[in-house]
Structure 1
């Protein structure tokens, strides 16, 4: 299977700085360095510019996907470099609050709050982002309806399924009108029916917000995402459109098989 060396690379091309992208609807990582402790280096001088309405960050376990998402969500702080969304940067208390109001993060594991109903937990998420209780409660009703959970609004949050928990997390992000939603491995552990519901929801979301998903699964690329980034051991192996990504495996005709073949070769070339 032939590869286009203009699209698949060991080192990323020169990325735009955050200052160059302030007018662009883009999530920008500039000269990012991050380590766990003193020895475990995940990123060193890392640059990435994500501007697609729906983007997927692919990579094997240990590639740095979850760390990058946590950095984008300000759950982790870089040792050096910066993260920006449009002209917003999480610097200082006020800057961090404005950034978090625009950027929502849905981790892989969503923890129900004991004693809260589905609607109460969704409203609580909005309150944590700075909404008043009354505004958060009103917004929670709209958000729950948008993700198809109105019938479960009064159920205790710990009594819903894994797929419903993910949708509840998305509803929480919608209460404060996020501009971009980050999702870490959102389909892990979901059955086929739940995955179908998730696909439909993401398709609807991209009409109003940008979505960035991290995963190691390639099944839904053709149906959901317009931009693909492949990350391996803290380095970008590919960035481009979904069509360009599929074109890397020209000898395969099925889009799903193309995605799997291209991904496998990209992450195993230097294994």
Structure 2
């Protein structure tokens, strides 16, 4: 099912909107949201996660309105959110932190504890379940973050710059993980990196100055590259043809 933004306007400061009357729909599957720093990607993701509410408009998933106080709890049970920075909770083990996230989402303590084991298995952290969170590497901590977002069986997971700061090996592990989970979970991944698009994503959206300037399949996105582009530069070339640069 699609994530819908319906006539959304949002501003951090009066008279300086980041988004203005935005209506856009993210289709089912795995979508990458590309755009330069300052384009409004993180704001879009925060609205989708119901961390922020639009000044005007609605954000919906499966008929639920994330801006409605009455429906927000149910919305958040179905939509998971992984911010750019994942922090270990002091004193908690990996499994305890995953279970704690489930409890915060409304699961009972027993249900959260039981589901935490399955969530850690899905992100390949079972062997580290009893390790303290602060002992994890950066890549392992991102995987714990994903476990936190799916422990309550989220249908959609929003990831903001999930590979920032990771080395090539860690990025490869993350890429494989998203590919494995995408059979049962929909993903929207915000990034400004153009590597591995064809390996993971079904849909590409390019966001610039608070506006979507492209939305289509990865094949359609790559077709925007010039004929002279080398295979390893096609994504970058297509991206540069669409954006005006950092805000």
CA RMSD in angstroms, aligned pairs only = 1.5
Q: How many matched pairs?
A: 247
Task: Tell me how far 1:255 sits from its aligned partner.
Answer: 4.6
Q: TM-score, normalised by structure 1?
A: 0.88
Partners of 1:135 and 1:155 lie apart in 2 by: 21
Residue pairs, 1:216-227, within 5 angstroms: 216-227=192-203
The answer to whether the aligner puts 1:241 opposite 2:217 as a matched pair is yes
* Contact 1:252/1:258 (8 A) holds in 2: no
Change (3 A) 1:124 1:255: farther
In structure 2, the residue matched to 1:160 is 136
Q: 2:101 aligns with which of 121, 125, 139?
A: 125
Change (3 A) 1:140 1:157: same
In structure 2, the residue matched to 1:265 is 241
Q: 2:59 aligns with which of 80, 83, 103?
A: 83
Partners of 2:173 and 2:141 lie apart in 1 by: 12
Task: Tell me how far 1:253 sits from its aligned partner.
Answer: 5.5
Partners of 1:232 and 1:193 lie apart in 2 by: 30
The answer to whether the aligner puts 1:58 opposite 2:34 as a matched pair is yes
In structure 2, the residue matched to 1:8 is none
SS at match of 1:116: coil
- Deviation track 1:10-29 (CA, whole Å, cap 9, x = no partner) reads xxxxxxxxxxxxxxx00000
Q: Can you give the 5+ residue segments of structure 1 that lack an aligned partner in the other structure?
A: 1-24
In structure 1, the residue matched to 2:9 is 33
Q: 1:207 aligns with which of 161, 180, 183?
A: 183
The answer to whether the aligner puts 1:192 opposite 2:192 as a matched pair is no
Change (3 A) 1:131 1:269: closer
Task: Tell me how far 1:254 sits from its aligned partner.
Answer: 4.6
Q: Can you give the 5+ residue segments of structure 2 that lack an aligned partner in the other structure?
A: none
Task: Tell me how far 1:48 sits from its aligned partner.
Answer: 0.8
Change (3 A) 1:150 1:231: same
Task: Tell me how far 1:270 sits from its aligned partner.
Answer: 11
